[in-house]
Structure 1
Amino acid sequence: MSANSSGVVKVGVIQQANTADTDANLAKSIAQIRVAAARGAALVVLQELHRGLYFCQQEDVDQFDLAEPIPGPSTQVLGQLAKELNIVIVASLFEKRATGLHHNTAVVLERDGSIAGKYRKMHIPDDPGFYEKFYFTPGDLGFQPIETSVGKLGILVCWDQWFPEAARLMAMAGAELLIYPTAIGWNPQDEQAEKDRQRDAWTTVQRAHAIANGVPVVSVNRVGHEADPAGGAGLDFWGSSFVAGPQGEFLYRASIDQEETQVVDIDLGRSEDVRRIWPYLRDRRIDHYGDLLKIYRD
């Protein structure tokens, strides 16, 4: 399916709670992928680091044992599943590229079981409860959409979703769909009003990427409480996975606290219609955007 195509793609969204049992987590994902495929999904998206707990709450060298090469065990299993079910799968893995060199990597498995491409997370957070810089080297593959049988997929990961530049560059390269595997949650000790503001901001900024670029967005988050190994408050992942159309309209919204598997129809042809009447790409003033290459304008 080429850019500006007019087909409807059925997208499976799997919102999942995880445990420390990586094999059980993967088995749960596989079972739900089968459910989505049985409901007609041609593309299935999993959440960020779906094989395990979100281990970045603390800096712990033993967690590097969870990393794996790409291609490797997970891509082999998921590739075989993609081929069996004749679907495209977006997975999210802790990639071991070399000893001492790791990435937070999304990988796309094509219908024939092959790896269509991968994206290494570019923006790496380093905040209380999200110590990702300890584990992940920033990506070096840039913002390049992945060509698949269901369209040109602009894969980005979690923290990337807060940066309009990432979404724009994917759209400028022809992405027909922006996809964000995610692991984000609240500090349980925060007041409810602050929790609501955080979740609303998360949803709003991604809907804005859909609007500003005239492309649909698929964002898939995890649910459930995950304890802090060091005894802190832990994280309550807020779920709320969603699919938005090219004007930011909700096509699907998941719950805050329940596991869900949903198949959503996305009409990629609407982007053509929307961009004709909202021509943001046409009216960009790139001749005056040079300062965007600066860290700050003093």
Structure 2
Amino acid sequence: MTLKIGFVQQANSTDVQANIEKLKKNIKDCARQGAQLIVLQELHNSLYFCQTEDPELFYLAETIPGPSTETFGALAKELGVVLILSLFEKRAPGLYHNTAVVIEKDGTIAGKYRKMHIPDDPAYYEKFYFTPGDLGFEPISTSVGRLGVLVCWDQWYPEAARLMAMRGADILIYPTAIGWESTDPEDEKQRQLEAWIISQRAHAVANGLHVIAVNRTGHEGDPSLQTNGIQFWGNSFVAGPQGELLTKLPAGEEGNRVIEIDTARTETVRRMWPFFRDRRIDAFEGLTQRFLE
């Protein structure tokens, strides 16, 4: 089965409505190029607000279903595409999540995934805003296949990718917001970027699946002035089931990209590299422990 995938690498501003209009224009551009599945970056409606801990920023959150699922759902139906959204979800008073939503091509919600791994680092104070996900690692069934949607910090954990693959994901998808702090030396920046790419290409290899990683670009200042802000490093890419880079966008540029992939290659690659056959499930009990003394 061939599938045309589009993705949007965008720089955002403080104007949420302007960001949404820009996203809609970029989605339409991908659809004009024949994309059947279009993936957006993490928390795409606004700036990446987790650089500071500010209770006022909870007003950015919305319910699911809500305004964004209605707006983008209507667009998905108009264009006949499957959309991957990334939203700040207000679930209940005092209970919020970083949630990916899959919109079917008829505009309905096919499913959602709540980010499981929540970072807490300088400029990435996500634990202040997000409760860890409670929906597990479950692929979402759509008209274009079973989508293993994960979010950003999840991309560093091979267990998450493996569980999605074990439950029948056809593709692994990572909406992302990651970048550099400007005071890091250039060699350190390059190590960070390469580690990010290598880790996700490794998930492709280990599971015999295509991987789609979609990152923000542009500089976003730190409102607290404690850091120099984040320079999001772009480099959104698609890797094949042997880890091969099929396409990649530049670091500092906005752009849309549409690429056709052959999802049937998963079966071919898994026959050559039978990692699932040879897994020693009788010896993996320790994986459920925090650390082994």
TM range (shorter): over 0.9
Aligned to 2:248: 253
Instruction: Determine whether 1:296 maps to 2:269.
Output: no
Query: What does residue range 2-151 of structure 1 map to in structure 2 within 5 Å?
Result: 7-151=1-145
Counterparts of 2:52 and 2:92, CA distance in 1:
22
Query: Which amino acid is 1:49 matched to?
Result: L
Report the aligned-residue RMSD. Answer: 0.4
In the aligned structure 2, how far is the partner of 1:210 from the partner of 1:24?
Answer: 35
Q: How far, CA to CA, are the matches of 2:21 and 2:89 in structure 1?
A: 19
TM-score, normalisation: structure 2: 0.99
Q: Secondary structure at the match of 2:147?
A: strand
Match of 1:237 in 2: 232
CA–CA distance in structure 2, aligned partners of residues 71 and 267 of structure 1: 32
Distance (Å, rounded) in 2 between the aligned partners of 1:34 and 1:233: 34
Q: Which runs of 4+ in 1 moved over 3 A?
A: none
Letter aligned with residue 60 of structure 2: L
Which consecutive residues of structure 1, in runs of 5 or more, have no partner in the other structure? 1-6
How many residues are paired up? 292
Identity percentage of aligned residues: 62
1:144-180 per-residue CA deviation (whole Å, 9 max, x = no partner) reads 0000000000000000000000000000000000000
Partner SS, residue 17 of structure 2 = helix
| Structure 1 CA distance for aligned equivalents of residues 27 and 230 of structure 2 | 26
Cα deviation code 1:97-148 (max 9, x no counterpart)? 0110000000000011100000000000000110000000000000000000
Q: 1:259 is aligned with what amino acid?
A: E
Pairing 1:203-214 to 2, within 5 Å after superposition = 203-214=197-208
Aligned to 1:272: 267
* Matched letter for residue 122 of structure 1: M
Note the C-alpha offset of 1:266.
Answer: 1.1
Q: What is the rounded CA distance, in whole Å, between the counterparts of 2:262 and 2:20 in structure 1? A: 30
Per the TM alignment, residue 256 of structure 1 is displaced from its structure 2 partner at its CA by: 0.3
Q: Summarize deviations over 1:164-203 as a string: whole Å, max 9, x none.
A: 0000000000000000000000001100000000000000
Counterpart of 1:188 in structure 2 is 182
